[in-house]
């Protein structure tokens, strides 16, 4: 049997599905997470800068380097485990440490990232999280006492997840040290891999939630601008109903509005599309946690429904409004171009009628000139004929005037006939 030829990307694509496995975590433990975006206006990161900066961190701990062009890395740095992932718009650093610090959510846990290394980071911090992973038998009173000390009651979300494998809690706020806090209470029967999956999904929820929210300021800023353009578009469309309106000037103004709308759509279309995609990821990550209510408090899904979903609806409505305005401007432009074409057709018709009148006048003038030409040519022809026939006056017994009178009519007739023949050939 001849060997089967594999697609050149077969192994690469298959391995990509297994390139970023969930971490395997022991309990108790601490996790520190950070997501960095290169610049507020940047879409794609400079991957070389990210990889170079990761290498600087690894050199601090004498850890091996990732291969060139790597988009993910996992390895030991000192007594910690580092997981690094590179995405389209951001890069993430996650550090796992066994055991718990004496102080809950101690900012010193973040010191695994050297201060000067953070200063030279190629980008800005999108979010950072301190996570505390504790063992728990599900004692509601003990958990309630701890979370009340750690989180704001008004915005706190807490739930049992994955068939009561763990209890997760956070208030989605930033503490005075600049980090968000997430607490996780794990049942003794929960496996290490399941713990890692929960932790990974919680970090993804925090990251993609923040990335999705980047579309909200854009939507708010576009609101006033779209109000102005919409009113301008309404005024221009109203001009279409006026018979005395200058269609050319209106069309120029409408094209200017359309250009502004297209520029806005091209500039912010990616952000709105990304916001929609990130929002879908957040909802999907929450769904797979299979939440159950705990202590009668709001779950992650309920928090997102009350706080996150309205922001996403604002982004969707703004994107839809921008698209609608663009379509309306295009439709108005088509109507106005039709009116301009009709006006130009009417103008052309008037020009053609004017040209017909001028042609008729020219024809009449030509015929008049032809008559005068017959007279003038005949005059000179009669004179020439007279000179030719003057010698015959004696033999014929006729005077010069008589001969001139005799030849005048035939000469005029011949000249008229020749000119008419020439005119027929020309037409």
Tell me if 34 sits within 8 A of 128, measured CB to CB.
yes
- Please give the Cα distance from 152 to 161 (Å, whole number): 21
Do both 60 and 110 map to the same domain?
Answer: yes
Do both 31 and 133 map to the same domain?
Answer: yes
Do both 137 and 185 map to the same domain?
Answer: yes
From the list 381, 382, 399, the residue with the least C-alpha distance to 390 is 399
Instruction: With respect to residue 359, please indicate whether it lies within any of the assigned structural domains.
Output: no
Beta bridge partners of 73: 84
Instruction: With respect to residue 144, please indicate whether it lies within any of the assigned structural domains.
Output: yes
Four-residue CA torsion sign, 265, 270, 274, 277? positive
3-state secondary structure string across 260-278: HHHHHHHHHHHHHHHHHHH
Q: What is the DSSP letter of 229?
A: H
Whole-prediction pTM value?
0.78
Q: Which comes out higher in pLDDT, residue 217 or 351?
A: 217
Residue 315's CATH number: 1.20.58
Each residue of 160-207: pLDDT tens digit?
Answer: 999 999 999 999 999 999 999 999 999 999 999 999 999 999 999 999
Do both 45 and 110 map to the same domain?
Answer: yes
Query: Which of 190, 207, 239 is the C-terminal boundary of a domain?
Result: 190
Do both 79 and 182 map to the same domain?
Answer: yes
**In the structure, what pLDDT confidence band is assigned to residue 1 with cuts at 50, 70 and 90?**
low
Instruction: With respect to residue 120, please indicate whether it lies within any of the assigned structural domains.
Output: yes
**In the structure, what pLDDT confidence band is assigned to residue 70 with cuts at 50, 70 and 90?**
confident
Instruction: With respect to residue 405, please indicate whether it lies within any of the assigned structural domains.
Output: yes
Provide the domain count of the chain.
3
Q: Is residue 73 helix, strand or coil?
A: strand
For residue 42, pLDDT over 70 is answered with: no
Q: Which domain holds residue 99?
A: 20-190
- Own/partner contacts of 378-384, CB < 8 Å, gap of 24 or more, are 378/408, 378/411, 378/412, 378/415, 378/416, 381/411, 381/414, 381/415, 382/407, 382/408, 382/411, 382/412
Instruction: With respect to residue 413, please indicate whether it lies within any of the assigned structural domains.
Output: yes
């Amino acid at each position: 049997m001849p060997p089967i030829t594999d697609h050149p990307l077969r192994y690469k694509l298959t391995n990509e599905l297994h390139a970023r496995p969930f971490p395997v975590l022991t309990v108790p433990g601490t996790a520190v997470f950070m997501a960095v975006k290169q610049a507020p206006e940047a879409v794609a990161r400079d991957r070389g800068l990210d990889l170079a900066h990761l290498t600087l961190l690894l050199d601090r701990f004498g850890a091996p380097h990732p291969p060139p062009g790597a988009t993910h890395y996992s390895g030991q740095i000192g007594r910690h485990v580092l997981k690094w992932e590179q995405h389209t718009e951001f890069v993430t650093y996650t550090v796992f440490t066994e055991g718990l610090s004496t102080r809950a959510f101690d900012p010193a846990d973040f010191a695994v990232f050297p201060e000067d290394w953070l200063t030279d980071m190629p980008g800005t911090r999108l979010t950072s999280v301190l996570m505390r992973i504790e063992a728990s038998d599900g004692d509601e009173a003990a958990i309630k006492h701890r979370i009340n000390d750690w989180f704001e009651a008004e915005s706190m979300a807490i739930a049992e997840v994955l068939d009561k494998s763990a209890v997760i809690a956070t208030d989605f706020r930033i503490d005075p040290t600049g980090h968000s806090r997430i607490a996780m209470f794990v049942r003794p029967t929960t496996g290490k891999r399941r713990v890692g999956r929960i932790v990974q999904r919680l970090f993804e929820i925090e990251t993609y939630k923040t990335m999705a929210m980047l579309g909200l300021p854009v939507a708010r800023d576009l609101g006033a601008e779209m109000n102005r353009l919409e009113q301008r578009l309404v005024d221009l469309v109203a001009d279409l109903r006026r018979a005395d309106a200058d269609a050319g000037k209106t069309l120029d103004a409408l094209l200017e509005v359309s250009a502004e709308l297209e520029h806005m759509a091209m500039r912010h279309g990616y952000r709105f599309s990304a916001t929609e995609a990130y929002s879908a990821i957040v909802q999907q990550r929450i769904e797979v946690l299979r939440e159950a209510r705990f202590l009668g408090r709001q779950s992650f899904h309920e928090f997102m429904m009350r706080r996150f979903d309205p922001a996403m609806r604002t982004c969707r409505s703004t994107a839809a409004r921008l698209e609608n305005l663009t379509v309306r401007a295009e439709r108005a432009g088509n109507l106005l171009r039709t009116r301009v074409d009709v006006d130009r057709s009417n103008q052309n018709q008037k020009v053609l009628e004017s040209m017909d009148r001028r042609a008729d006048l020219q024809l009449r003038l030509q015929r008049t000139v032809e008559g005068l030409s017959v007279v003038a040519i005949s005059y000179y022809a009669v004179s020439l004929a007279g000179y030719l026939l003057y010698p015959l006056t004696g033999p014929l017994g006729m005077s010069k005037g008589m001969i001139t009178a005799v030849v005048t009519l035939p000469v005029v007739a011949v000249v008229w006939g020749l000119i008419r023949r020439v005119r027929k050939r020309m037409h």
